[in-house]
Amino acid sequence: QVQLVESGGGLVQPGGSLRLSCVASGNIYSLNSVAWYRQAPGKERELVAASPSRGWPNYGDFVKGRFTISRDDFRNTVFLQMNKLKPEDTAVYYCYAKIRTDYEGDMDYWGKGTLVTVSS
């Protein structure tokens, strides 16, 4: 079974930085599009950053200039570098990937999420 596992969340002060990682494992042929989403208490899940297989990534309006998505396809890993964090960035962050396996076509996969809390 293909699994996505996020790590790197925790408690940070406003203005601090944090790097999230997402490792995909299983019978993976290739990672296609990948993305980070987040969901704050009482809010709907929203797109943070997305990266297609090829081309420039796109970001949510509130994180542009502060967050950077990157990927290491050889290691099936996706990163989210978060700088100048604000209290309103507090949320559970989820990793998403569209993956082609050795036995199936493209399918959507989600991680369980990692909690980021920005507070002084």
Amino acid at 20: L
Q: Per residue in 97-110, pLDDT tens?
A: 999 998 888 999 99
What is the pLDDT, as a whole number, of residue 102?
Answer: 85
| Mean pLDDT across 60-71 | 92
Nearest to 86 by CA among 49, 119, 43, 42: 119
In what order do the strands lie in the sheet containing 67-72?
A: 3-7, 18-25, 77-82, 67-72
Q: Per residue in 5-33, pLDDT tens?
A: 999 999 999 999 999 999 999 999 999 99
Report d(CA 51, CA 3) in Å as an integer. 19
> In Å, how far are 3, 64, 78, 92, 96 from 39, measured between CA atoms?
20, 17, 19, 5, 13
- pLDDT above 80 (res 64): no
Banded model confidence at residue 63, pLDDT cuts 50, 70, 90:
confident
Q: Do the Cβ atoms of 36 and 80 come closer than 8 Å? A: yes
What is the pLDDT, as a whole number, of residue 77?
Answer: 96
